């Protein structure tokens, strides 16, 4: 650990704040009088008799690490923001601190327990702090706890300057806790007067620490008392934040039997434990939206990454697979589904896998699989998480955050992802003698469906069977096998299918349809019909218009001639091929005969 102490010669004890390993904060220097009768300090130290009776303040400056620990930056209780900014550090906003006023526990009256640091007696009451050995909480716990603490006002979050200020404080001993880093953000902007605030994960939190007001401070020639005290705890941060993203489903359409499954990939970089070096609980809850059903949890891993690699080496990254708890196996995690409310927790054995957090960062990886119910097109799925006492997003384990009709952005702070399907509608009609579509609807047209491989390709490039094979892949009805998805027009001449559009901000996907069977009495259309199927929204789909205009397509068929009907009734080989060859042969013979007759007439007339 690094800490700064301010030496108060011989007559004054200097006690340092205990901070998290690698965390740098100004010491809460504690001075007490060597002679309580005179209230003086020998040998030019800070003199408690010179303390003025006045209100004080504590200002906390929160910056990223680790360059805050560079030689040359030595906090001394004054505002050293300019010096710190010169080191290239960025402030962190959204880090929550709670301030407590400290009193004694042994006294019989309020005055007996009061710690008034405007007097030499008050300093004597806290002289035991010089024996502080790293665990500040030891002063508040146990049968012989020396101190008790009372919260001062409300917990506060750092602003865009990384600052929290607690004002109008009595001259006393205070205890500061960093109570939450869940909303921590850093400004990644590189241009002046611009901001680019993004969430970060705090991997090492600041340990609780003591601060006195006033605080002794040595100037060039003498000592003085600071009544507005500035402290600079720092955090090690990771720009990775908790996320939840959807992967492509196992099927590119909604299976009516509920066999279309969307995997949701959840990633939770672990912030520092609330206390000490061990975690008490890590988990999340997912209240599945309408249209999704719980299927399973798979791929659970803790990814362990070195904080600092050996010279000329890259940090190692090691996945630690975790198995589930069962009736016969202790396991490392437990997943429960209660009517669509899925709760995931690491077990005690799972938490024990997280070791040496000063040397490694850890990220929890989980895949939550959900099946899709027919008829629901758009899904946005949120989680509410926890790492010890720190929350991830809004809500809690019992009441996870769920958006409402009135407040659709209620859970925007929670990790979430979205997935989209949309209905493609085909109407099959007859074509008249002029080549125009008619109102006559055709039943029994069957289409095979293909997904375009490269979504940047121009659909006009797909014009025949060769380019169809080149640019598309068949939409399958199973994960394995060759069964291709087909649709067939009904009595009203229409056929519909709910197709996968994409995840998150993807708003369209390209598909092609090829007619495999024509309606009775009509020619089969061999050309691919390719469309850009669009995401459904509140503006393009309504109760009266369940299919978006852009996704409703009409395909015409020419009526078959007598020969078309004969050819359509025969297979491509055998009788059908023989008939085609016979017709071609007859035409060829007729042409040859006609040529011979013309040639002979020319010779006779010559």
Closest CA to 348 of 303, 408, 282, 412: 282
- Let me know if residue 15 belongs to a domain: no
| Shared domain check, 437 and 552 | yes
Residue 440: CB partners within 8 Å, gap ≥ 6? Answer: 429, 430
Question: Of the residues 414, 440, 466, which one is the last residue of a structural domain?
Answer: 414
Residue 132 tokens, joined: 């502080």
- The pLDDT of 281-299, averaged and rounded, is 97
CB atoms within 10 A of CB 483: 10
- Condensed to tens digits (0 to 9), the pLDDT of residues 341-384 reads 999 999 999 999 999 988 899 999 999 999 999 888 999 999 99
CATH code at 128? Answer: 2.60.40.10
- Let me know if residue 142 belongs to a domain: yes
| Shared domain check, 476 and 376 | no
- The pLDDT of 210-231, averaged and rounded, is 90
- Let me know if residue 568 belongs to a domain: no
HSE (side-chain half, CA atoms, 13 Å) at 259 = 8
Interatomic CA distance for residues 267 and 367, integer angstroms: 9
| Shared domain check, 88 and 181 | yes
Interatomic CA distance for residues 400 and 289, integer angstroms: 12
Residue 68 dihedral angles phi and psi, to the nearest 5°: -65, -20
With beta carbons less than 8 A apart as the criterion, state whether 272 and 203 touch. Answer: yes
Interatomic CA distance for residues 99 and 97, integer angstroms: 7
- Condensed to tens digits (0 to 9), the pLDDT of residues 465-506 reads 999 999 999 999 976 667 899 999 999 999 999 999 999 999
> What proportion of the chain, given as a percentage, has pLDDT over 90?
56
Interatomic CA distance for residues 473 and 465, integer angstroms: 12
Give the pLDDT confidence score for residue 311 in this predicted structure: 84
Question: Of the residues 183, 206, 238, which one is the last residue of a structural domain?
Answer: 238
| Shared domain check, 356 and 287 | yes
In degrees, to the nearest 5, what angle opens at C-alpha 494 toward C-alphas 490 and 500?
115
Residues in the chain: 606
Q: Is the pLDDT score of 1 beyond 60?
A: no
Closest CA to 516 of 555, 543, 458, 553: 555
- Let me know if residue 31 belongs to a domain: no
Interatomic CA distance for residues 346 and 358, integer angstroms: 21
Q: Is the pLDDT score of 404 beyond 60?
A: yes
The DSSP 8-state label assigned to residue 477 in this structure reads S
Confidence band, pLDDT 50/70/90 cuts, at residue 13? very low
Interatomic CA distance for residues 401 and 382, integer angstroms: 7
- Let me know if residue 19 belongs to a domain: no
Interatomic CA distance for residues 558 and 436, integer angstroms: 10
Closest CA to 428 of 382, 480, 490, 367: 490
Residues of the chain by 3-state class (helix, strand, coil), percent to 5: 15, 40, 50
* pLDDT top residue among 7 and 55: 55
- Let me know if residue 604 belongs to a domain: yes
Give the pLDDT confidence score for residue 605 in this predicted structure: 61
Q: Is the pLDDT score of 38 beyond 50?
A: no
| Secondary structure (3-state) at 511 | strand
Residue matched to tokens 């013309």: 598
Q: Is the pLDDT score of 312 beyond 90?
A: no
- Let me know if residue 4 belongs to a domain: no
- Condensed to tens digits (0 to 9), the pLDDT of residues 527-570 reads 999 999 999 999 999 999 999 999 999 999 999 875 555 555 55
Confidence band, pLDDT 50/70/90 cuts, at residue 599? low
Range of the domain at 406: 243-414
Confidence band, pLDDT 50/70/90 cuts, at residue 4? very low
Q: Is the pLDDT score of 29 beyond 50?
A: no
| Shared domain check, 282 and 161 | no
The DSSP 8-state label assigned to residue 502 in this structure reads E
Closest CA to 206 of 175, 182, 235, 174: 235
- Condensed to tens digits (0 to 9), the pLDDT of residues 60-102 reads 999 886 544 454 567 788 998 887 776 667 899 999 999 999 9
Interatomic CA distance for residues 463 and 457, integer angstroms: 12
Residue 444 tokens, joined: 């029994």
Interatomic CA distance for residues 121 and 127, integer angstroms: 10
Confidence band, pLDDT 50/70/90 cuts, at residue 585? low
- Let me know if residue 188 belongs to a domain: yes
CATH code at 408? Answer: 2.60.40.740
* pLDDT top residue among 241 and 229: 229
With beta carbons less than 8 A apart as the criterion, state whether 557 and 522 touch. Answer: yes
Q: Is the pLDDT score of 56 beyond 70?
A: yes
CB atoms within 10 A of CB 24: 24
End-to-end CA distance of the chain: 119
| Shared domain check, 427 and 447 | yes
Give the pLDDT confidence score for residue 66 in this predicted structure: 52
With beta carbons less than 8 A apart as the criterion, state whether 437 and 429 touch. Answer: yes
Q: Which strand ranges, in their side-by-side order, compose the sheet holding 243-246? A: 243-246, 261-269, 360-372, 292-306, 317-321
Name which of 239-248, 286-295, 594-603 the model is least confident about.
594-603
Residue 531: CB partners within 8 Å, gap ≥ 6? Answer: 424, 459, 510, 511, 512, 513, 551, 553
CB atoms within 10 A of CB 473: 11
H or E element that contains 306:
strand 292-306
With beta carbons less than 8 A apart as the criterion, state whether 223 and 214 touch. Answer: no
> What proportion of the chain, given as a percentage, has pLDDT over 70?
82
Closest CA to 233 of 536, 416, 407, 24: 24
Question: Of the residues 377, 395, 414, which one is the last residue of a structural domain?
Answer: 414
> pTM, whole model, 2 decimals?
0.70
Residue 519 dihedral angles phi and psi, to the nearest 5°: -60, 155
Query: What sign does the dihedral 545-546-549-555 (CA atoms) show?
Result: negative
| Shared domain check, 247 and 226 | no
Closest CA to 153 of 190, 194, 111, 101: 101
Confidence band, pLDDT 50/70/90 cuts, at residue 34? very low
Residue 157 class from Cβ within 10 Å (0-12 exposed, 13-18 middle, 19+ buried)?
middle
| Shared domain check, 467 and 405 | no
Q: How many helices (H) and strands (E) does the chain have?
A: 7, 36
Residue 446 tokens, joined: 């069957």
Average pLDDT, the chain: 84
Interatomic CA distance for residues 178 and 95, integer angstroms: 7
| Shared domain check, 248 and 233 | no
CB atoms within 10 A of CB 351: 19
| Shared domain check, 407 and 367 | yes
| Shared domain check, 314 and 227 | no
| Secondary structure (3-state) at 350 | helix
Interatomic CA distance for residues 598 and 529, integer angstroms: 47
* pLDDT top residue among 321 and 131: 321
| Shared domain check, 206 and 138 | yes
Residue 247 dihedral angles phi and psi, to the nearest 5°: -95, 165
Name which of 3-12, 202-211, 452-461, 502-511 the model is least confident about.
3-12
Give the pLDDT confidence score for residue 18 in this predicted structure: 31
Confidence band, pLDDT 50/70/90 cuts, at residue 183? confident
Give how many domains the chain has, as a whole number: 4
HSE (side-chain half, CA atoms, 13 Å) at 386 = 21
């Amino acid at each position: 650990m690094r800490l700064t102490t301010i030496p108060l010669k011989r007559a004054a004890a200097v006690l340092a704040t205990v901070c998290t390993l690698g965390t740098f904060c100004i010491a809460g220097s504690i001075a007490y009088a060597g002679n309580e009768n005179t209230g003086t300090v020998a040998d030019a130290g800070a003199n408690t008799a010179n303390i003025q009776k006045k209100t004080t303040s504590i200002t906390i400056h929160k910056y990223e690490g680790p360059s805050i620990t560079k030689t040359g930056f030595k906090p001394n209780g004054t505002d050293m923001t300019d010096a710190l900014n010169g080191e290239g550090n960025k402030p962190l906003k959204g880090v929550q601190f709670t301030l407590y006023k400290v009193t004694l526990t042994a006294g019989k009256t309020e005055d007996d327990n009061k710690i008034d640091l405007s007097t030499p007696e008050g300093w004597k009451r806290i002289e035991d702090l010089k024996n502080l050995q790293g665990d500040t909480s030891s002063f508040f716990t146990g049968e012989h706890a020396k101190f008790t603490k009372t919260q001062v006002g409300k917990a506060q979050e750092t602003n865009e300057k990384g600052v929290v200020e607690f004002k109008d404080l009595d001259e006393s001993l205070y205890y500061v806790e960093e109570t939450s880093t869940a909303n921590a953000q850093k400004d990644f902007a590189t241009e002046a007067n611009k901001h680019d605030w993004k969430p970060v994960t705090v991997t090492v939190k600041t340990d609780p620490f003591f601060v006195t007001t006033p605080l002794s401070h040595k100037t060039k020639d003498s000592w003085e008392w600071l009544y507005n005290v500035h402290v600079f705890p720092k955090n090690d941060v990771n720009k990775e934040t908790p996320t939840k993203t959807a992967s492509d489903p196992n099927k590119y359409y909604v299976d009516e039997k509920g066999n279309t499954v969307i995997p949701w990939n959840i990633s939770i970089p672990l912030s520092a434990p609330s206390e000490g070096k061990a975690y008490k609980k890590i988990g999340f809850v997912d209240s599945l939206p309408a249209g999704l059903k719980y299927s399973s949890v798979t791929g659970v891993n803790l990814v362990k990454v070195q904080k600092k690699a050996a010279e000329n080496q890259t940090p190692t990254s090691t996945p630690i697979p975790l198995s589930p708890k069962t009736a016969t196996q202790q396991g490392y995690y437990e997943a429960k589904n209660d009517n669509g409310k899925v709760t995931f927790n690491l077990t005690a054995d799972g938490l024990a896998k997280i070791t040496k957090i000063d040397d490694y960062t850890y990220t929890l990886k989980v895949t939550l699989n959900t099946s899709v119910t027919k008829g629901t097109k758009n899904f946005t799925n949120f989680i509410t998480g926890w790492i010890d006492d720190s929350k991830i997003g809004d809500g809690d384990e019992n009441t996870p955050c769920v958006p409402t009709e009135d407040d659709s952005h209620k859970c925007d702070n929670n990790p979430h992802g979205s997935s989209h399907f949309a209905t493609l509608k085909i109407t099959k009609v007859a074509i008249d003698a002029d080549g125009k579509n008619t109102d006559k609807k055709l039943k029994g047209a069957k289409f095979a469906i293909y997904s375009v491989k490269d979504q940047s390709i121009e659909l006009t490039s797909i014009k025949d069977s060769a380019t169809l094979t080149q640019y598309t892949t068949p939409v399958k009805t199973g994960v394995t096998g060759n069964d291709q998805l087909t649709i067939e027009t009904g009595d009203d001449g229409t056929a519909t299918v709910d197709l996968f559009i994409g995840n998150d901000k993807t708003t369209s996907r390209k598909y092609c349809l090829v007619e495999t069977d024509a309606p009775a009495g009509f020619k089969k259309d061999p050309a691919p019909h390719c469309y850009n199927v669009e995401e459904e929204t509140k503006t393009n789909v309504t109760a009266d218009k369940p299919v978006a205009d852009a996704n409703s397509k009409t395909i015409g068929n020419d009526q078959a001639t007598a020969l078309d009907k004969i050819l359509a009734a025969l297979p491509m080989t055998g009788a059908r091929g023989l008939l085609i060859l016979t017709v071609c042969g007859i035409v060829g013979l007729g042409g040859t005969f006609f040529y011979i007759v013309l040639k002979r007439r020319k010779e006779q007339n010559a």
